[in-house]
Amino acid sequence: MSNKSKSKNKFQVPRGMRDILPEEQLYWEKVKQVVSLSAKAFEFKKIDTPILEEKDLFVKGTGIYTDIVEKEMYNLTTKGRDKLVLRPEFTPSIVRAYLENGFSSLPHPVKLYSIGPIFRYERPQKGRYRQSYQANFEVIGEQDPVIDAQLIQLFFFICKKLGLKKLITQINSIGCSDCRPGYKKKLMNYYRNNKKDICSDCQKRLKQNPLRLLDCKNIKCINIAKEAPQIIDCLCDNCNNHFKSVLEYLDELEIPYILNSCLVRGLDYYTKTVFEIWPEEENGRQISLCGGGRYDKLIKLLGKKDVPAVGFAIGLDRIVNLIKERKIKIISKSAPLIFLVQLGDLGKKKSLKLFEELQRAGFKTASSFSKNTIKAQLQIANKMNVRFALILGQKEAIDGSIVIRDMILGSQEVVPLNKIIKEIKKRIKK
């Protein structure tokens, strides 16, 4: 049943959240499978962290003046008065797990990936949900710019396997604690001169989080941001060289990118490289498929040691939506090989046992014992894209035979029931 056809019920799914229905699972399974295989190919190890975390982890990690912390967290207080939140992102959780589990004594870089839900109390719209799913990748303990480029390469690798083309990387560098303060001063001077023309949110940002002035979506503010001083012109030598190298690696990989001097990302921990990857046709709309960057100071902020790191997260809901929008065919590897059609009382009885024998022989078999007509059952078999339909009716049950129908070739043949396993094996070999 589609979401549209559901009737108004007394209880409804919470606003901005949704059920992922059985017919959609095919897409989700495929995307998660490609993500996991690609993560392994790029030598990431899987880690699962709790959905609930201490609130302060994000206040400190993500940043007190970010939208996520100011407006979007789902808060709860436990009976023991602990202040917890539903995780709004993975990165601080992964850093916490890295520190808490003593990963700092492992050989570096430590490469970790996770797949799971995140929760943000945002205004719901297409592609933006209050419960969404991310595949998150972190590389901890390496400052070489090649890793920044390799993460972008990984995203394109995943998309290629899913048949997703026409993507564009938006990239910027937001400097480090040496060069950013100088840039911030310049930016604030520029915005003070334009103070009367910026929106009320930007008036606040000017005091609390000036870099975010650059990615305000208000049309007046967009025009002001276009003329603002660019951070690229203020980078120190270290950040400048790092950024140049990332771009050179992307050129080498033939990954398409555009420099976006207004890309600052909405999370406080970033240093140097930041990036988002968008579908080409959606450019300009708020629909990034993934986003990430370097966060060389977060581990020190949450722990003690100065350890550089870089990572990104993919919005799986948006990937699934894009696959559907672009009508990319996903073929399920788990589709059954055989559909067992049963007709009449005797046929049904004998099919029950045969169903088990076929499964035991290792053939993925489907059936619909509640449907009685051959037409209805063959229609289901067709939809499932099975290779063979086996038809066991009253006559066959009495004769000790069965009809084997090749759904691809359209041919059919009657064979002895006790030879059916052999007959299927013979046909698969052909």
Binding site for ligand HAM (CB under 6 A): 89-91, 120, 122, 127-129, 132, 134, 136, 138, 276, 288-293, 295, 311-313, 315, 317-318
Q: Which is nearer to ligand HAM, 117 or 229 (CB)?
A: 117
Chain-centre distance of CA 30, in angstroms? 11
CB-nearer residue toward ligand HAM: 89 or 296? 89
In angstroms, what is the minimal distance from the CB of 315 to ligand HAM? 2
- Of 127 and 344, CB closest to ligand HAM: 127
**Of 171, 166, 416, 139, nearest in space to 282 by CA:** 166
d(CA 60, CA 85): 13
Of 138 and 282, which has the nearer Cβ to ligand HAM? 138
DSSP string, 138-158: EEES---HHHHHHHHHHHHHH
**338-342: strand order across its sheet:** 365-367, 338-342, 388-392, 401-406, 412-416
Distances (CA, A) of 167 to 228, 274, 414: 27, 17, 52
Q: Which residue number, 186 or 326, has a Cβ lying nearer to ligand HAM?
A: 326
341: left (phi over 0), alpha (psi -120 to 50) or beta: beta
**Least Cβ distance, residue 269 to ligand HAM (angstroms):** 8
* Overall size of the chain counted in residues: 430
Strand partners, 416: 401
Q: For the beta carbon of residue 207, count every other beta carbon within 10 angstroms.
A: 9
Q: Rounded to the nearest whole angstrom, what is the least distance from the CB of residue 404 to ligand HAM in the complex? A: 47
The nearest distance, CB 318 to ligand HAM, in angstroms, is 5
Contact yes or no for 398/345 (Cβ under 8 A): no
Between the CA of residue 337 and those of 70, 181, 329, 380, what are the distances in Å?
52, 63, 19, 13
Least CB distance to ligand HAM at residue 258 (A):
16
Comparing CB distances to ligand HAM, the nearer of 90 and 243 is 90
- Tell the smallest beta-carbon distance from residue 134 to ligand HAM (Å): 5
Q: How far is the CB of 265 from ligand HAM (least distance, A)?
A: 6
Question: Is 127 or 303 the residue whose CB approaches ligand HAM more closely?
Answer: 127
Would you call the peptide bond into 22 cis, given omega within 30 degrees of 0 as the criterion?
no
> Which residue is nearest to ligand HAM, using beta carbons?
315
